[in-house]
A = this chain, B = another copy of it.
């Protein structure tokens, strides 16, 4: 029997790997992306490429203008994307973003009667965002078990975070084994319109180190001006 899953897909390396994992487990994928007026809009084009490469039943992009709240370098043009690691939670943190995205996934899963949601959060090689930790995902699950008509009627919806304890090297190794071409994904926080990466932001740095640690060629398309290209 086919199993439906809602897969949160940003177009970056992690969520693309999660889609490859869900597909390898036999899930029919309903991919959900969020157009939140992010600075790196090229990731939305990447998400579309990834759904085509890996096969999704449906791909929907929800528009939600988080820039009206501001407060993040990813949605507020007046806050620069840092080009060196900082202490604490960086300014690229988007307030409550994963909570908002999981809430939308929960809504769609309930309508689809899907029992599974996949999200590419990762608590090892990550930027220190609070909503990427296992304890956060478990708390969201506990809340979701009380939030929906499905759950009240006995059909709980499970949140899967298969990358949560993996290193970036393990992630790219697994995705590569599943046939994923990371050249079509975009992780850079300030990618240009064609999806070329800057090479220096936190997201580029973590991604590049992952390929190096895995001993894999880095297929990222860097901008001609990128410092690590």
CB distance from A107 to the nearest CB of B (A): 4
Q: Contact at A139–B136, with CB atoms within 8 Å? A: no
**Alpha-carbon distance A151/B136, docked complex (angstroms):** 12
**Alpha-carbon distance A71/B71, docked complex (angstroms):** 33
Q: Contact at A89–B136, with CB atoms within 8 Å? A: no
Q: Contact at B95–A100, with CB atoms within 8 Å? A: no
CB distance from A22 to the nearest CB of B (A): 19
Q: Which of chain B's residues have a CB closer than 8 A to the CB of A100?
A: 100, 103-104, 107
**Interface magnitude class on chain A:** 35 or more
Q: Is A87 close to B, CB under 8 A?
A: no
Q: Is A97 close to B, CB under 8 A?
A: yes
Number of copies: 2
CB within 8 Å of B: which residues of A? 60, 62-66, 68-71, 89, 93-100, 103-104, 106-108, 110-111, 129-131, 133, 135-136, 139-140, 142-149, 151-153
Q: Contact at A152–B130, with CB atoms within 8 Å? A: yes
CB distance from A211 to the nearest CB of B (A): 29
CB distance from A70 to the nearest CB of B (A): 6
Highest count of chain B CB atoms <10 Å: which of A68, A93, A135, A151: A68
**Alpha-carbon distance A64/B131, docked complex (angstroms):** 22
Q: Contact at B103–A130, with CB atoms within 8 Å? A: no
